[in-house]
Amino acid sequence: MRVRSVTKRWGSVTALSEVTLDIEPGVTGLLGANGAGKTTLLGLLLGFQPPDEGTIEVLGRDPVTAGPEVRAGVGYAPEHDPMPPDVRAQDLVRHIAELHGIPRDVSLTRASDTLHLLGLGEERMRQVGTLSTGQKQRVKMAQAIAHDPELVLLDEPTEGLDPLQRDEMLRTIRRIGRELGIHVVVSSHLLGEVERICDNVVVLDQGTLAGAGALSGFTGETRSYDVEVDGPAAELVAGLARSGLVVQATGPTRFRLDLADDAAVTRLLDEIDASGLGLRRLQPLGRRLEDVFFSGAPS
């Protein structure tokens, strides 16, 4: 999927502004706070509405001009419960699969197998309105994958689930992406979920792209180091700060230091040498997506 300079406005509200990104194969987390523009972006990818500016390509086609062909290969589970309560789960999944091109003579088997995959046995014969929230989420997921799409768009798939159900849903999404080879874009405002299941991340912040790339690029090693010396570090920390380095004391003998380049490493070693202290630890710090999200993500 390619998104180029896309802007979408709802009246006077700009939901997306000049967003440019590529979404790579695999499981991609679409991350952002409520109102960041995640659902709008999913709607644009599906061709629900055209962008006001910019271009979009999904599975090699423009969803505005080739909407039916694009959507035939895409599954979608919206954030809200979109299912009529008086229809049996299996009938609904079968119906949506048929709309996506599965012939009628095999759609019943597909629907049944998909619901089984998601842990719905006898419940699949019940009307959707009688199912629990967790079961409804699974039916919603089933209708998105029953036609074996190339790409599945999941909008907040764990919304309303308890911790156990959430865990199970995340495992299922991971399995869809890894074992079945279906590309998945999963929108969420929960960082931990994205960290657990995604290969790639797209971060939106108030309608603008805050960052995009491989998850490892966000959470991997950084130029921040945890430094420990064998004596009181207060004077050393002050000296490093005076020399222009970004440093933060984290204990009597420890501090956190950002080393932008090799010259900064040399300066650190010189300062330690001058202080007469011995270096006990110089360890690169990994960072969690949460740190990225709250402190501004790399582009």
Partner 1 sequence: MSSARLYELGYLRYEGRRTAPSRAVLSLLVHSFRSLLGIRRRARAKALPIIVGGMAYLPAIVFVGIAFFLPEELTEAVVPGSAEYFSTVVTPVWLFIVLGAPSLICPDRRHGTLALYFASPLDRDTYLIAKAGALALFLALVIIGPGLLLLLGLTIAGVGTDGPLAFLATLGRLLGMGVVITMMFTSITIALASLTDRRAAAAAFIGLWLVLGSSFVGILTGPLRAGDWIAALDVTTVAANVAGHIGGEFLDQEMLGPLATMLVALAWVVVPAVFARWRYHRLAVTR
The string of DSSP codes covering 267-295 is HHHHHHHHHTPPEEEEEEEE--HHHHHHH
219 is a contact residue toward partner 1 (CB under 8 A): no
Nearer to partner 1, 16 or 229 (CB): 16
43 is a contact residue toward partner 1 (CB under 8 A): yes
53 is a contact residue toward partner 1 (CB under 8 A): no
236 is a contact residue toward partner 1 (CB under 8 A): no
26 is a contact residue toward partner 1 (CB under 8 A): no
240 is a contact residue toward partner 1 (CB under 8 A): no
Rounded to 10°, the helix 133-145/163-178 angle is: 10
Of residues 50, 108, 117, 178, which one binds partner 1 by CB under 8 A?
117
Q: Cα(27)–Cα(87) distance, rounded to whole angstroms?
A: 31
Nearer to partner 1, 98 or 271 (CB): 98
Nearer to partner 1, 99 or 260 (CB): 99
* Residue 255 burial class via C-beta count within 10 angstroms: exposed 0-12, middle 13-18, buried 19 and up: buried
Q: Cα(55)–Cα(57) distance, rounded to whole angstroms?
A: 7
Q: Which residues of 47-81 are buried (b: 16+ CB within 10 A; e: fewer)?
A: beebbeebebbbbeeebeebbeebbebbbbbbbeb
Site string for partner 1, 65-94 (x = CB under 8 A): --xxx-xx-xxx-x-xxxxxxx-x--x---
Q: Cα(283)–Cα(250) distance, rounded to whole angstroms?
A: 14
171 is a contact residue toward partner 1 (CB under 8 A): no
The 3-state secondary structure of 94-146, one letter per residue: HHHHHHCCCCHHHHHHHHHHHHHHCCCCHHHHCEHHHCCHHHHHHHHHHHHHC
Nearer to partner 1, 148 or 291 (CB): 148
60 is a contact residue toward partner 1 (CB under 8 A): no
Q: Cα(96)–Cα(144) distance, rounded to whole angstroms?
A: 8
Cα 25 to its chain centre, rounded Å, is 13
Of residues 39, 158, 200, 253, which one binds partner 1 by CB under 8 A?
39
Of residues 1, 31, 114, 141, which one binds partner 1 by CB under 8 A?
114
Of residues 28, 137, 143, 200, which one binds partner 1 by CB under 8 A?
143
Both tokens of residue 274? 């001058």
217 is a contact residue toward partner 1 (CB under 8 A): no
Nearer to partner 1, 16 or 264 (CB): 16
261 is a contact residue toward partner 1 (CB under 8 A): no
Residues lying near partner 1 in the complex (CB under 8 A): 10, 15, 39-40, 42-43, 46-49, 67-69, 71-72, 74-76, 78, 80-86, 88, 91, 95-96, 98-104, 106, 110, 113-114, 116-117, 143, 145, 147-148, 153, 155, 180-181
